[in-house]
Amino acid sequence: MADYFAFNGDADGLCALQQLRLAEAPQALLVTGVKRDIALLRRVQAGSGDRVTVLDISHEQNREEVARLLQDGASIRYFDHHFAGELPAHPGFESYIDTAADVCTSTLVNRYLGGRHYRWAIVAAFGDGLPKLGLALAKHHGLPVEHIAELEQLGLYLNYNAYGESIADLHFDPAELAEALRPFVDPLDFIRSSETFATLRDGYSADMAKAASLTPWRGIPGATLYRLPAAPWARRVIGVLANRLLSQRPDHALALLSSNTDSGFTVSVRVPPEHPLAADAFCRRFATGGGRKRAAGINHLPASALASFAEAFENAYGRQPDDLVPSAILREQEQPC
């Protein structure tokens, strides 16, 4: 029997994988890629007696491959928090899918394992832009403030490493990063002893220093759009920058567009938690769009669709006059980020 792990290359996918590897110690084949590379199951050739564990990639985007693997006799257990669509009714399919806005895949794995490696779930929650979830889990386990801060930074850096158009944009291939994490039961030990952590920290600092000069491309009250340059550093920061900007203006919807080599754009969208239109529902209006309720994206937006996307985003998330907050507060919110 062969074991396969197909996992998103971001913080959530890596930390979900780390928990299961620590708990089960399987000798498994790893299948992963950059964060936007979610059609991973097409690369898995498993059959009778094999097990495929899927971590943090949408079932909706892998539906046909799931059906193929089940038909070929493989068993599948699926951990995810993205829009899933209709799931197969098959004895070989185990679903641990929860699309609630306040969970991530690593917390689902943490639940599955009975909290055996909860610190990695905390890292993932912070990295996946869910600081309230990370803080709640950390406080539940009585972690001191200084340890929480370290785990938050690790989550941020792991997530930052996943963004790019190709592996060449990243500091580390996610499969390589998974191997660097594997020996560490406690993520604090990885932070304090690994040169890999230092590389991620320094790369993040350098890239975010460049991002500090960015200004909005266009915007109206309630919705702002940024266009990032066609550069590896810009492709690396798009996700973590979107999370940072949302934390600064939590009532404001954001869209960040990074030029790609297909003469179009990669898009990251962040939406306030109280807004009735979920980010994934909005992004699924466009081909290659998807994600989760408050953080979603579009893998490829053709250049010809840029203007219509911007208009649709502003129509969806811009506030009407009757919705606006008092003018003094609005003027403060509209200062450039």
Which letter, b or e, does each residue of 202-219 get, where b requires 16 or more Cβ atoms within 10 Å of its Cβ?
ebbeebbeebeebeeeeb
Could you tell me if residue 35 is inside a domain?
yes
123 inside domain: yes
Per-residue pLDDT tens for 213-250? 999 999 999 999 999 999 999 999 999 999 999 999 99
Percent of the residues in the chain that have a pLDDT greater than 70, as a whole number: 95
User: What CATH number is attached to the domain comprising 120?
Assistant: 3.90.1640
Dmax (CA) of the chain: 65
Residues 174 and 243 grouped into a single domain: no
Same domain flag for 193 and 239: no
User: Does one domain contain both 19 and 148?
Assistant: yes
214 bridge partner residues = none
Residue 167 lies in a domain: yes
pLDDT averaged over the chain?
92
Domain count, the chain: 2
- Does residue 288 lie within any of the structural domains? yes
Let me know whether 45 and 138 are in one domain.
Answer: yes
Inform me whether the pLDDT recorded for 270 exceeds 80.
yes
Domain boundary among 157, 179, 203: 203
Domain containing 152 equals 3-203
The yes-or-no verdict on residue 326 having pLDDT over 90 is no
Buried b or exposed e, range 40-53, using 16+ CB within 10 angstroms: bbeebebeeebbbb
Asked if residue 160 and residue 282 are part of one domain, the reply reads no
Identify whether residues 260 and 314 lie together within a single domain: yes
Residues 195 and 240 in one domain: no
| 136 located within any domain | yes
Per residue in 42-86, pLDDT (tens digit) is 999 999 999 999 999 999 999 999 999 999 999 999 999 999 999
Residue ending a domain, among 203, 236, 261, is 203
Distance CA 116, CA 266 (A): 37
Note whether 64 and 154 are same-domain residues.
yes
Q: Would 210 be classed as within a structural domain?
A: no
Q: What is the pLDDT of residues 289-308, one digit of tens each?
A: 999 899 999 999 999 999 99
Last-in-domain residue among 174, 203, 232? 203
Asked if 224 and 199 sit in the same domain, the reply is no
